[in-house]
Amino acid sequence: MRLTHDLGAELLVRAGRLRRGAGYAEAPPHARIELARAGAILRLRRRGRYHVHASAVVDRHGRAWLFTGVSGSGKSTLAYALARRGWRVLGDDGVIIEPEAAVGPTILAYAWRESLWVSAALASDFPELALVDTVPLPGDPRARVPVVMPWARVAPVAAVIMLRQGADDAVERISAVESLAELVRQSAWVLIPDGSARQHLDGLKRLVEAVPSYRITHSPRQLQEIEATIDALGV
């Protein structure tokens, strides 16, 4: 399979290996990173491990909570709010699930190690952000900076949570069908037709059938209250 970046660089996925294609060596670093990420996701799913576009944190009981939603919905921010309270991070912009490794209905989630990118504008809520000695991403309207927190390697998934911002806080249980549709919208990798797309879709389907899914609409209050909100779910 040939992956082609918008800037023209190519990465080849052959026999489970990644090989540089035309224009790869000359491409800017961000283009090479994006291609390598896509290639790694395709390699993993041939081994029965599937990428989910979500941030994820592990609670004090050793269970993973997956936060998904559109860009700017609060995935990284709420993961960071929980990490500050002692939860461990599994991923900022993605995690890997492995349904076949599970015992019974449990779905395992593995770390996709990246720094949490949190808006420096939240220093009034998270004072330590004012001390981060990193320049925000150029052109990023959210002025995000990378923050390193304690990591977890693998954990069973407790629930999938769809996030959106709002003036008022609200929590609702959603169906597996609605949850699956949202995960597919947020995880475009599942649509890449490499022969393992159906298995990737089936993996996401097993995930939402195995664990409950919720939609949380959150106001800025959840920066301090998200742990209590999750505890109240009683999962």
Asked if residue 45 has pLDDT above 90, the reply is: no
pLDDT of res. 146:
85
Adjacent-strand bridge partners of 20: 11
What is the share, in percent, of the chain residues with pLDDT greater than 70?
83
pLDDT, the chain, mean: 85
Adjacent-strand bridge partners of 161: 67, 214
Extents of the domains making up the chain:
1-47, 51-231
Q: Read off the pLDDT of residues 217-230 as tens digits, 9 standing for 90 and up.
A: 999 999 999 999 99
What count of other Cβ atoms lies within 10 Å of the Cβ of residue 95? Answer: 26
Range name among 18-22, 74-78, 98-102, 172-176 with the lowest pLDDT average = 18-22
- Fold that domain 51-231 belongs to in CATH: Rossmann fold (3.40.50)
pLDDT, average across residues 93-116: 81
In DSSP notation, 102-155 reads: -STT--EEE-B---EEEEGGGGGTSGGGGG---PPPTT-TT-EEEE---B-SEE
pLDDT of res. 226:
96
Range name among 3-7, 19-23, 78-82, 110-114 with the lowest pLDDT average = 3-7
Angle made by CA atoms 205, 156, 177, in degrees to the nearest 5? 20
Highest mean pLDDT among 36-45, 70-79, 96-105, 215-224: 215-224
Residue predicted with more confidence, 147 or 175: 175
Contact 109, 66 (CB under 8 A): yes
Q: Read off the pLDDT of residues 163-182 as tens digits, 9 standing for 90 and up.
A: 999 999 999 999 999 999 99
Angle made by CA atoms 184, 189, 193, in degrees to the nearest 5? 105
